[in-house]
Structure 1
Amino acid sequence: MINALTYILTVLIWGSTWYAIEFQIGVVAPQWSIFYRFALSALVMFLWVALKRDALKIERKYHSQLFLLGLFLFSSNYLMIYFGTAYITSGLVAVCFSFLTFMNIINGRIFYGTAITREVIIGASFGLAGLILIFLPEVSALSLADRTTVGIIFCLIGATSASLGNAVASSKRLSDLPILSMNAWGMLYGALINLIFAILSGEPMRFEWTTDYVGSLIILAILGTVIAFVMYLSLMAKIGMTKISYVGVLLPLVALSISTIFGDYRWTIEALLGLVLIVLGNVIIIKFKAKAPPAKPLEAAE
């Protein structure tokens, strides 16, 4: 019951935060907005860890992986998503991000030896067909100069980065750390990486003192980052990297619904069919029983 509630809340929070990201695009360069978001998130996380009296100091041996967690899950992932949001609607960004499910399967195979079965191939084919249908007008005139195509590329790279972050978070070494402490240090490293990138990009450091910008920043930092990632990574520790991909099944539904109500997204028959194929492909992939490679005698005994 608790796992189901955590899953539903995570989907609703992240499904709605795609729209909030649109208020971060404009006066302030995306890289600076992301730095503000994760600097605030890291501060809140460390305060939370202190109040819970968890371990603030982490042994040096963990920090290389915590750095990778920050790089993939709290930095490059969001840089690509924010850049992508400047080119396509928030709902379509979430559709592209559902590619995370397929990447989790591939990275599960690479890093943890999880078998890729026939169901995975079928599910991936459904998902790819769905993406093509949703973006049919753009796919039919595919050009790297096209704004939508550029947005899709950014978002797919972001989904790949997020999957690498999931693989790092699923590692046996990080499983020894408390979730709050792991998130706090990962977000701190992510914020520092984002700061360095923002400075090197040459974009001036700006801040927009408007209700829309500040309000969306607080929502994204507290609700969409601190709360959502604690629930997400806690759930992943319980049910595994493959099954947590269920989150990607419903995100496009929530995000596209919000984009339709508050944004300028308009449904077509092809888009509806494409969304059905993506959801079906995700369900097929998640439903298969992952087969890990046979354990060695010593590992089996342990």
Structure 2
Amino acid sequence: MTRYRNLVLFMVLAAVWGSAFMAIKAGLAYFPPVFFAAVRYDIAGLIMLAYAFYATETPLPRSRADWMEVGVGAVLLIAAYHALLFIGQTDPTVTSAAAAVIVSLNPVLTTGFAQGLLPDERLTAVGIVGLLLGLAGVAVLSELDPSNLLAGGTVAKLLIFGATAAFAFGSVLTRRIDSKMPIETMEAWSMLFGALLMHVLSVGLGESLADVVLSTEGIAALLYLALAASALGFLIYFDLLERLGPVEINLVSYVAPIFAALSGWLFLSEVPNASTAGGFALIFLGFVLLKRDAIRQELRHQLGGRADRVNE
């Protein structure tokens, strides 16, 4: 029963996070991008903070390390990642699936940053090939060549790549900080301070409430992102991270683009092209090469558990 529960939650998480790219695309027709991202995390941050007060004994950061981790989360994991992602998705040539595929590079980039910042992390020659394959996947997806380097679609995809790099870098930095703060508390305060930073950036970019077009579709997209993709999504993620571990939960990054493509096709009439599929294949192959040892250990664990159940 637990195995099926984990599978159902995993697929729900992939569906929610994958379809979030469609919701972002839909909402951007009614909200300025950075303001849209900020309001999303105003709502999600308050919900997560309420959950932190309910579920943990330390809902407030206490130590210097706690505040450092919140700062990294606010600047890189929330503000930089979402501001660049939302701005990148304003380009009409960037489909929901393409954005999701670029973001799926996150585990590959995280491993690359860990190589330089975490002393216990080491990349082998095969791991370096995996990292390069992941980067090549983004190049294929962005259709990089001298003639279209400054084209709108390419620039937008590179902005989304920058968002993914910011998230990966922030993830590694938080692992270097010796904080004992519960993850729910860290996420709540990072969301709130990240939202504040995005509001400041939004004003600096000249966005205003006058640019907002109130509509049922826009409000629905905002609530879906805040309640489903952020609040519910992170709660499921925390639960599965504890039950499955980081290797298996990382695979959600490679299932989410499928749901991004399906939801983009159903609701926005988006059709992924060949470069989207090719970029995804290279990124996924890069992930397999980088995480081959962990994947091998996980397969042995799963096969060993099945063998034990057969012998009982």
TM-score (norm 2): 0.81
Q: Pick one of 256, 276, 282 that aligns with 1:277.
A: 282
Structure 2: state its 5+ residue gaps. 296-312
Give yes or no for contact 1:34–1:194 (8 Å, CA) kept in 2: yes
Q: Pick one of 60, 65, 68 that aligns with 2:69.
A: 65
Over 3 Å counting, the alpha-carbon distance change for 1:47 and 1:188 in structure 2 is same
Q: Pick one of 262, 284, 301 that aligns with 2:267.
A: 262
Give yes or no for contact 1:183–1:230 (8 Å, CA) kept in 2: no
For the residue of structure 2 that corresponds to 1:170, the secondary structure is helix
Query: Is residue 2:238 matched to residue 1:219?
Result: no
Give yes or no for contact 1:90–1:256 (8 Å, CA) kept in 2: yes
For the residue of structure 2 that corresponds to 1:54, the secondary structure is coil
Query: Is residue 2:211 matched to residue 1:204?
Result: no
Over 3 Å counting, the alpha-carbon distance change for 1:237 and 1:255 in structure 2 is same
2:26 corresponding residue in structure 1: 23
2:125 corresponding residue in structure 1: 118
Cα RMSD of the aligned pairs, angstroms, is 2.7
Whole-Å Cα distance in 1 between the matches of residues 23 and 40 of structure 2? Answer: 12
Structure 1: state its 5+ residue gaps. 291-302
Task: Give the partner amino acid of 2:257.
Answer: P
Over 3 Å counting, the alpha-carbon distance change for 1:181 and 1:288 in structure 2 is same
Aligned-residue offset at 1:173? 2.4
Give yes or no for contact 2:261–2:271 (8 Å, CA) kept in 1: no
1:13 corresponding residue in structure 2: 16
1:152 corresponding residue in structure 2: 157
For the residue of structure 2 that corresponds to 1:26, the secondary structure is coil
Whole-Å Cα distance in 2 between the matches of residues 201 and 133 of structure 1? Answer: 31
Task: Give the partner amino acid of 2:267.
Answer: F
2:115 corresponding residue in structure 1: 109
Deviations 1:49-95 (A, max 9, x none): 23336323321411122011111111110011101111111111111
Over 3 Å counting, the alpha-carbon distance change for 1:263 and 1:286 in structure 2 is farther
Over 3 Å counting, the alpha-carbon distance change for 1:171 and 1:278 in structure 2 is same
Over 3 Å counting, the alpha-carbon distance change for 1:54 and 1:8 in structure 2 is farther
1:295 corresponding residue in structure 2: none
2:299 corresponding residue in structure 1: none
Whole-Å Cα distance in 2 between the matches of residues 58 and 65 of structure 1? Answer: 9
Deviations 1:5-45 (A, max 9, x none): 55433322111111000122134211111111111111111
2:82 corresponding residue in structure 1: 78
Whole-Å Cα distance in 1 between the matches of residues 24 and 18 of structure 2? Answer: 11
